[in-house]
Structure 1
Amino acid sequence: MGTLNLGILAHVDAGKTTLTERLLYAAGVIDEIGSVDDGSTQTDSLALERLRGITIKSAVVSFAIDDLTVNLIDTPGHPDFIAEVERVLSVLDATILVISAVEGVQAQTRVLMRTLQRLRIPTVLFVNKIDRRGARYDGLVAEIAEKLTPAAIPMGTARGLGTRHATFVPHAADNAGFSAHLAELLTDHDDALLAAYVEERVSHRRLRKALAAQTGRALVHPVFFGSAINGAGTEALIAGVRELLPNAPIDVNGPVSGTVFKVERSPAGEKVAYVRMFSGLVRVRDSLRFGRSGEEKVTAVSVFEHGQAVSAPAVAAGQIGKLWGLADIQVGDQVGVARGTLGDHHFAPPTLETAVVPRHRTDKTALYVALTQLAEQDPLISLRQDDNRQELYVSLYGEVQKEVIEATLADDYGIGVDFRESTTLCIERPIGTGEAAELLQEDSNPFRATIGLRVEPAPHGSGIEFRLSVDPRTVPAHIYKNVGGFTEMMEQYVRQSLREGLFGWQVTDCVVTMIRCGYSVADGPPSVRGPDSTAADFRKLTPLVLMSALARARTHVCEPIHHFRLETPPDTLGAVLPAVARLRAVPETPEMRGPSCVLKGDIPAAALHGLRQQLAGLTRGEGVVESRFDRYQPIRGKVPTRPRTDNNPLDRKVYLTRVLYRR
């Protein structure tokens, strides 16, 4: 029996949660189809999900297609919750990307498809809502080819569009036009198939086999049409999933290896980790290694069967399971043997930040604990604490997240909160190279450690890299167990210090190299004779040295830039262009697309909200704008700063006073 871990992705309101309900109904898991509007669906279990009719948290349900077990992961479509999609991508075997037959290819659809193609995740497309007025077929097929991928192949024809009798008719084996189109697409990637096709030796069976192979390699993308509401086309989609998408590779006898993609807390407050197993077997009472150094005992296991999670003695390769007992586990941790680096982000990081203020002063401590737990479940939403101002900040993708955080804090923790106005999150990048050092036993250095660091620029998007370039004999391995342990902790100190740079923003895209190291012990060589060095000495000295090196390197403050696409009636362009220019946008040459004028360009993220607010008035309510994060760009003119929340290592006197005497 095979297993397929299948993601279902879409732009918000395309109907993917309703499609999930239809698939569960067709498989006999549920007796009736729930309604998103009524809040009665299987996967939208949060109160706010039912209230708003949107998916906020990814959910796993299971059903069977013959001898194939499908673990279906329903993900959010709203761009404010893209972090939930981020975590799911690394555990999928394949995806269904849902598109509305009325609205067509939307902004989030394009973002998702680009990511799926970059990660080479096998994907079939399902065009939903063919029974809705305004549903399209030919025009939408052309739009998919233009905006998503030319390697899309419709698997049938939609009839009765826009009526409740709309249906999907799969192409028959003797459909010469379909076979020719399919062969033309498949032979681009298969020379042997091309030779056989030229010689007219290709059967329909061989074409279907080649289609499955190339779909499994994410080279082509079958397209199905239908309606999740009335069930049209879903039978063909299910058959396509069974035939065309690759099953999970199963290696039960291999070493334990898996990835945690979701963490939640039980009603009793215990952590529950969702893990996709790639090889091996995790049993109840096994001691499981995870993350960089964690190891804890699994106290309970459940796996997904017939629509729900059920208790099990173990979770095996290919399966998705829930694990209890791992108190320190985090989203993104790899369990057992690591499968390479999974730290790269597939989507843009959050670009907004807001202060969260408790309505009652007595809730300050409880609010910190609650937000820390929420940040555990969502690592892309970082938490900053400003001890000087007694304020807490969280990063966001959008304003809808405020409502979710507010409702979660109220419902789950009994804490009422308010939010300050959101501000744009900038970053800092080093301009040049800078070095600094603090030497052991010098009068100016009150810490029992020698640290020398060099900071230099790295390619954009590369993040932070830490390197150790010192004589291993100068490393206090006895404090950190070994040189590897020291390197790991120094990298942690460096990353923590770089959360706030010269102007208070996160520093990224740099290489930090440790070029000097030293410690002291009572019995002298190979170290310096003196009082024993401690881990705290290295932890507290690192920010001071690193900020000195960064000050010599200097930094650019960079703001997030979005690429926008704006459609407007041609006669309103004269009003739109000056408004766009005032918002510091850089437009491209306008293009005519049918009855509309299309304007593309770049705009600072901070100005995007203003563009959306003004657009209706500028275009008689007919203008539509979509955008996606593109890059960070150095700010010209006055550089914005962010108040520091650390002990301010840029001011040596202040830092030493706070670190040595207050703590």
Structure 2
Amino acid sequence: MNLGILAHVDAGKTSLTERLLHAAGVIDAPGSVDAGNTQTDSLALERRRGITIKSAVASFPLGPPEDQVTVNLIDTPGHPDFIAEVERVLSVLDGAVLVISAVEGVQAQTRILLRTLRRLGIPTLIFVNKIDRGGAQYEHTLQQITRRLTPAAPAMGPVHGIGTRRAQARPYGSEDAVFRQALTEVLAEQDDELLSAYVEGSAVPQRALLSALAAQTRACLVHPVFFGSAMTGAGLPHLMDGIRTLLPYADEGDGRLSGQVFKVERGPAGEKIAYVRMFSGELRLRDRVPVGREGSGREGSAREGSGCDGSGRDGSAHEGKVTAVEVFHEGAGQRRPAARAGEIAKVWGLGEVRIGDWVGAARKESTDTHFAPPTLETLVVPGAGTDRGALHLALAQLAEQDPLIALRQDDVRGEVHLSLYGEVQKEVIQTTLAEEFGLDVGFHETTTICVERPVGVGYGYEKDLLPFLGTVGLRVEQAPPGSGVSFGLEVELGSMPYAFFKAVEETVHETLGQGLLGWRVVDCKVTMTHSGYWPRQSHSHATFDKSMSSTARDFRQVTPLVLMDALREAGTRAEEPVHHFRLDLPADTLGPVLPLLGRLRAVPGTPDIRGAACSLEGEIPAASLHRLGQLLPGLTRGEGVVESAFAGYRPVSGEAPARARTDHNPLNRKGYLLVVTRLR
């Protein structure tokens, strides 16, 4: 079973991981986040800061010897700046445990994570941690879970002595009539037989009740709630039994080789090590295996710039030879001749591998996770004596390990821009560059990444514009929100060689990375309306002369001019990223909060006031969200809580922001032609 441990930061994920490993006999004593000696936080920076930055895998046996299952436990970051790490893990999980603090209750990231787990169909148990801490609450936490997460969340046992070091959590017994009735009510919502028995007042056998609970948990309809403490071990046996009996195990697949890469790291010699979740078949030592991603020929087009992983690959499949395989077993990795279905393996030898690649065949039921894109960008400033080439290589390696970190290279100014999620992530990157690569860097102030959207229809046309031997006509028009960039033809596919059409299509996607204002163009339909080329020609009794014949290069270089002409005629508008927010605050503090939301350009909805409590939802620009989090505590006596989720883009009010271009600027026709002609 491949099990993910997920939570809002500081809820106790890593402590729970340590306690599970200890309870299974894998480690002698549970490590401490504060002491920096945990099993899964292996990075020095993780130990110093006391947070998880990179996902880590540990393995332990669960259950009696005659019915034992091997659990691959994946500890994930809790801080929202590292949401990309969580995204990668979700695609390889069989089940998950979502950790909530009994003191802080349901927090912002908790809601985002459970929504995503439910959408992806990942069976999830809820573990309420820290019952031994002062301020821990039982009923209040359950109410928050059923009100803010899911109503189908039956508590699996009571807690005695909550809020004290002697706190204990015990499972409900089969003789507890109140529990049986409450569980029947929850399960009857999705089970007609149970509903009929409940309405008729018939007693449901305990075995049938538990069988229905397991079935509905595996179907993501119910999320059982366990209470306990990762520090004292209270409630852990009950949770471990729930993991074994309520969550699904990995299946064997159809026998064909199929595995997915969810993490890439570098070894001591700089070699790539791929973490592969095996879904089917066997991955054997010395095998030559296909590696790539299904339908990935343009996955880079949705990101800020090209080649963000540093590999320069276009997503096509390639082969790699497996030189070593290590499978996780009882806490550590063991060298094996093969990795089998259901296992997680560290694999050496796949030199061109990237996160998200499939080893062997891709699963047809695989699902995209759709986490929010990074909405912030910063300019990397090399310190005195820092080699720019070494810096770019190091950043490319970091982006390779985190594909939602995109690099935007400005060859004209020799600058590198980095897109990311937040300030903590920026600090981590700076420290990593210093400690792992010996590079001193600073960063400019973080800015918001906008997008451009066409507002009309525009046309562009060039015929045999010297020195380009080719005709290109394009029409640009807006497309429905969320549809992305599409390319179509209004000319016959046989009117010129396919390679020339492909050159135009690829260049269109690349060029739309920077629109009229320098931002990536989204939701745009581009149609090729005219085409023409010079057939392959040569002088008499001579070889091929490209000066007399069209090449793909001609189409790659003329297309940006045509496309920008069409885009200029269509016009674009800049749109900024916005988040949907929810504020929970005392009702008497709403007065000073509303003017703050106005200053931050937020659009609030109608407040929901219930007694002394108030909740307020609305939209706020991503650029203002951090400021809201800073100022809210001071206006609400420290009781105000904000949670947010990326909600898309909205038009920028006032003067449209622009971003400096990093290409040869086809908007400047004369300058572009001078540069491109010189490059030929």
TM over 0.5: yes
1:441-464 superposed Cα distances (whole Å, 9 cap, x missing partner): x2x253344444443333323333
Structure 1 residues 211 and 511: alpha-carbon distance in aligned structure 2, compared to 1, 3 A threshold: farther
Residues in 2 aligned to 1:231 and 1:165: alpha-carbon distance in whole angstroms: 11
Aligned counterpart for 2:333 among listed residues 297, 309, 314:
309
Percent identical among aligned pairs is 61
How does 1:176-575 map onto structure 2 within 5 Å?
176-198=177-199, 200=202, 202-251=204-253, 254-291=255-292, 292-340=316-364, 344-439=368-463, 442=464, 444-467=465-488, 470-474=491-495, 476-477=497-498, 487=502, 492-522=506-536, 531-575=548-592
The 3-state SS of whatever aligns with 1:92 is: coil
> What's the CA shift for 1:578?
1.7
Residues 520, 530 of structure 1: 8 Å contact kept = no
Q: What TM-score results when the alignment is normalised by the length of structure 1?
A: 0.92
Q: Which residue of 1 aligns with 2:94?
A: 93
Structure 1 counterpart of 2:40: 43
Q: Summarize deviations over 1:83-141 as a string: whole Å, max 9, x none.
A: 10111111111111000000000000011111111112111100000000111111111
CA offset at residue 593 of structure 1? 4.2
Relative to 1, partners in 2 of residues 1:207 and 1:570: Cα closer, same or farther, differing over 3 Å? closer
SS in 2 for 1:213: helix
Structure 1 contact 615–623 (Cα < 8 Å) conserved: yes
Partner AA of 2:430 in structure 1: E
Distance 2:486 2:114 in 1: 29
Indicate the residue corresponding to 1:585 in structure 2: 602
What secondary structure does 2:328 align onto? strand
What is the SS of the residue equivalent to 1:153?
A: coil
Q: Structure 1 residues 296, 595: closer, same or farther in 2, change over 3 A? A: same
Matches within 5 A, 1:624-639: 624-639=641-656
Deviation at 1:300, TM superposition (A): 1.6
SS at match of 1:608: helix
SS of 1:224's equivalent?
strand
Give the match for residue 55 of structure 1: 52
| RMSD between superposed Cα atoms in Å | 2.3
Identify if the C-alpha distance between structure 1 residues 275 and 144 changes in structure 2 by more than 3 Å, giving closer, same or farther.
same
Alpha-carbon distance between aligned partners in 2 of 1:530 and 1:367, rounded to the nearest angstrom: 39
CA distance in 2, matches of 1:153, 1:75: 25
Q: Does 1:644 align with 2:658?
A: no
Distance 2:95 2:459 in 1: 47
- Whichever residue aligns with residue 500 of structure 1, its letter is Q
How high is the TM-score relative to the length of structure 2?
0.90
Residue 483 of structure 1 corresponds to: none
Q: 1:468 & 1:378 partners in 2: Cα distance?
A: 35
Is contact 2:484-2:522 (8 Å) kept? yes
Listed one character per residue, the Cα deviations across residues 237-261 of structure 1 (whole Å, up to 9, x for unaligned) are: 110010000111112x522222211
* 1:418-477 Cα deviation digits (max 9, x unpaired): 1100001111122233343444xx2x2533444444433333233333445653324534
**CA spacing shift, 1:573–1:190, aligned 2, 3 Å:** closer
**AA aligned opposite 1:258:** G
- Unaligned regions of 5+ residues in structure 2, if any? 293-315, 539-544
Where 2:325 maps in the other structure, the secondary structure is strand
Is 1:29–1:307's contact at 8 Å kept on the other side of the alignment?
Answer: yes
Please state how far the C-alpha of 1:623 moved relative to its aligned partner.
3.5
Structure 1 distance, partners of 2:76, 2:32, is 17
Inter-CA distance 599–456: structure 2 relative to 1 (3 Å threshold): same
The DSSP-based 3-state class of the residue aligned with 2:216 is helix
Q: Name the residue aligned to 2:311.
A: none
Deviation at 1:571, TM superposition (A): 3.8
1:412 CA drift (Å): 1.1
Q: CA deviation at 1:582?
A: 1.7
Contact map agreement 1:521 1:529 (CA 8 A) in 2 = no
Instruction: State the Cα distance separating 1:363 from its structure 2 match.
Output: 1.3
Which residue identity lines up with residue 455 of structure 2 in the other structure?
I
CA displacement at 1:236 relative to structure 2? 0.6
Answer whether contact 2:537 2:549 (CA < 8 A) is retained: no
Q: Paired residues, what number? A: 646
Structure 1 residue 492 displacement after superposition: 4.3
Task: Report the more deviating stretch, 430-439 or 624-633.
Answer: 430-439
Indicate how the Cα distance of structure 1 residues 652 and 368 shifts in structure 2: closer, same or farther if over 3 A, else same: same
* C-alpha distance after superposition, 1:190-215 (max 9, x if no partner): 22333354452631111111111111
Q: Distance between the aligned counterparts of 1:350 and 1:342, measured in 2?
A: 23
Q: Secondary structure at the match of 2:373?
A: coil
Q: CA deviation at 1:359?
A: 0.4
| 2:387 partner SS | helix
Equivalent position SS for 1:578? helix
Change (3 A) 1:264 1:411: same
Change (3 A) 1:339 1:520: farther
Contact 2:535/2:550 (CA < 8 Å) preserved in 1?
yes
Quote how far apart the aligned CAs of 1:503 are. 0.8
Kept in 2: contact 1:349–1:380 (CA 8 A)? yes
Q: Secondary structure at the match of 2:456?
A: coil
Check whether the contact 1:522–1:530 (CA below 8 A) recurs between aligned residues.
no
Distance 1:376-1:32 versus aligned 2 partners, 3 A rule: same
Deviation at 1:373, TM superposition (A): 1.1
Match of 1:607 among 624, 627, 630: 624
Cα deviation per residue 1:221-278 (whole Å; 9 max; x = unaligned)?
A: 1110000000011111110010000111112x52222221111111111111111122
- Between the aligned partners of 1:326 and 1:538, the Cα distance in structure 2 is 34
Distance 1:345 1:652, change over 3 A: farther
Q: 2:76 maps to which residue? A: 75
